[in-house]
Amino acid sequence: MTNLGIHHVSSLVSDIHTSYDFYHNILGLKLLIKTINQDDTSMYHLFFSDETGQGGTEFTLFQINTFKQNSFGTNSIDRIVFALPDEDAMRYWLQRLDDYQIEHYGIEIYGQDKMLRFEDPDGLRLAFAVVNNPEGKFFPNQSGSVPVEHAILGIHSVHLRVRYPKATQNILEDWFEFKETAQYEDERFPITVIQNDNGLFKHKIYLIDDKINQLEEQGIGGIHHLALYAETDEQLKEIQAAIEDKNFENSGIVPREFINATYFREPNGLLFEVATKTFGLPNFSKAESIDDVPLYLPGFLEEKRSQIEQQLSKLESYR
């Protein structure tokens, strides 16, 4: 059964208003939905993606502004790289970042790719690179602030900074059909690149061998988890059985209304989700302010709306 690589990536931010302005108004991403973390209903959860909401384009944010700041370190999901259509788009973004006074590293060669690295307002590490499948059919945001010919297409790659990269690599190759494509010797942090060629984006994962830095202490500006694809519920069950066979700490399969998913800690302690195809998300993307976007609740939480909105209002009071 074919695996399609990365499904989505989820990160931690301090304020959904600031983040909405940055990701929607500056980066031009389409907001799919404003909802809550189903495991902690006092926490907002924003979903961004392309026009279709397809896996491989989804980027989500949890607001957790009472938490500590993320502390850089190893055994972490280190960086999210967004896919651009071509090098003209890369040059457009170089100028746009300058126009918005967003610090960046310039266009540089990183491994196999030209990359433009920068950070969001919470220090979340981001980058741009040209999509790995330029002939693919993509559906970038048609109504955003960025010209469609330069718009973000989805997720290009993810950087994992780990102490034991081979252990993580084995899981990604054995269960999710990634294959090693390159190694880069570095005096401090050797890099292994693995790639899944099955999906539209031909996602890459950069495995950074970091035995020098202390362990990351996750917080605001950190990347919470990496979600990988399970095309069907049957494939999800097969992966769940493999997780249990390895005795990895895991959640079991959890119904999320839009997807079914399981969560587990891989050998370096990173939190991986395995998620089925997303379906049934509402579309609230045209709002200019996050306050104009209605709060969506899954059906099983709708009866608790009043209580949940009171919890969220307390979160707003920290602004």
**What pLDDT score was predicted for residue 67?**
75
H helix intervals, the chain: 16-20, 87-99, 165-176, 233-245, 305-316
For 245, residues 6+ apart whose C-beta sits below 8 A from its C-beta are: none
Q: Where are the domains of the chain?
A: 6-316
Q: Which pLDDT score, from 0 to 100, does residue 281 have?
A: 64
CA 232/CA 128 separation, integer angstroms: 30
User: Taking the model in full, what pTM does it have?
Assistant: 0.94
**If one looks up domain 6-316 in CATH, what number appears?**
3.10.180.10
Per-position b or e across 177-202, b if 16+ CB within 10 A of its CB: bbeeeeeeeeeeeebbbbbbebbbbb
pLDDT single digits (tens) 252-311: 999 888 889 999 999 999 999 999 987 766 665 556 678 888 888 888 889 999 998 888
**Is the CB of residue 61 less than 8 Å from the CB of residue 11?**
yes
Mean pLDDT across the stretch 25-51? 90
C-alpha–C-alpha distance, residues 215 and 39, integer Å: 25
pLDDT at residue 313 greater than cutoff 90: no
Q: What is the pLDDT of residue 72?
A: 96
Over the stretch 43-78, which tens digit does the pLDDT of each residue have? 899 999 998 888 899 999 999 876 799 999 999 999
Binning pLDDT at 50, 70 and 90, where does residue 117 land?
Answer: very high
How confident is the model at residue 299, as a pLDDT?
A: 85
Percent of the chain topping pLDDT 70? 95
List Cα–Cα distances, 22 to 30, 48, 206, 212, 250, in angstroms: 12, 12, 25, 33, 33
**Residue 143: Cβ within 10 Å count:** 10
Helix-strand-coil split of the chain, %, nearest 5 = 25, 35, 40
Q: pLDDT band for position 37 (50/70/90)?
A: confident
SS3 assignment, position 111: coil
